[in-house]
Amino acid sequence: MGRKKRGTPIHGWINLNKPVGVTSTQAVGKIRRALNAQKVGHGGTLDPLADGVLPIALGEATKTVNYIQDATKIYEFTVTWGEQRTTDDAEGEVIQTSDARPTLEEIDNILSGFIGDIEQVPPQFSAIKIDGERAYDIARDGDYADIKSREVWIEDLSVLPQAGKPATADNKNIEQAETSFSCICGKGTYVRSLARDMGRKLGCFGYISSLKRTKVGPLVIESAISLEVFEQMIDNPDQGKDLDGVLLPLSTALDDIPVLALKDQETSRVKNGNALSFLSKPDLARLDALGIDWKSEDITDALVTYDDQALALVEIYGAKIQPKKVFNI
């Protein structure tokens, strides 16, 4: 007999607004404690310096984390010019300085070079593994981690308007002590590296002094839940856990893939990990209705449901539906 799992089985997503000064691991720990949840994970680390959207997966939703990690993200951040730091953010030690400061015009002139598919070297203080060891562990030991560059995708990078200072021709040539940006990017992009590389390109150095993640896939900052909500649950363990408006469906991470509703007999087969073969015209029409070209050789990821309940992630190849991850709910 297997060991009984400790905690309460809770399945779904929490759109957490992580505060500055808390690590992603600490945030996960607080939610696990507050909800007494059996299984909790997150969908993309936020540095302690950063705040904003931290997707938290509970229970069977952890099987969909890769979809959130692959989703497009939006960041708002401020770069302070004139220094390069070991961590490429405000927490590191100063290693290079410059008296030069860029103008808005000079910044605008370099932005196009950081949009599209670009090569980027992750920071020395990052979770990248070098021969099995984390880069930040190598850096903390005082050694240099030989991190290879990799290709990342940036959809858009733009300067945010300065509060109370609308952009004009006059202030385009005023030197900037710091500049705020918005960035829309794909998986694996390090905003700290972006700040570092812009500073180098401008000849003045730069580091991240504030960083907020405002969107991860379907999760946005406007509807994110404060960590204080869960801290209050910890402080008041005898009160009921009202998760209405807090816990999002497991399917939240899968908002951009086809959803196929199954029939009774089909549901039983998929639950047991068995493949389905659609041969009849009515069944093939169900695939057509989802925009799936079953005549092609492409493999399509899809979510199958029964009675509006997420049942499994599947791969559809031709008219064959193969379960990939079955949700035990």
Give catalytic residues, as residue numbers.
47
Q: Phi and psi (nearest 5°) for 211?
A: -150, 125
Residue among 138, 118, 119 nearest 128 (CA)? 138
Burial class (CB in 10 A: 0-12, 13-18, 19+), 119: exposed
Identity of the residue numbered 4: K
Q: How far apart are CA 69 and CA 151, in angstroms?
A: 16
Q: Are the C-beta atoms of 8 and 38 separated by less than 8 Å?
A: yes
Q: How far apart are CA 312 and CA 72, in angstroms?
A: 23
Token pair belonging to 269: 């087969």
Residue among 302, 298, 308, 307 nearest 323 (CA)? 302
**Who contacts 258 (Cβ-Cβ below 8 Å, separation ≥6)?**
290, 291, 292, 300, 302, 303, 316
Helix/strand/coil percent split, the chain, to 5: 25, 35, 40
* Element (DSSP H or E) covering residue 75: strand 73-81
Q: Provide the terminal-to-terminal Cα distance of the chain, rounded to the nearest Å.
A: 20
User: What is the phi-psi region of residue 199: left when phi exceeds 0, alpha when psi lies from -120 to 50, beta otherwise?
Assistant: alpha
The sign of the dihedral angle between the CA atoms of 229, 232, 234, 238 is: negative
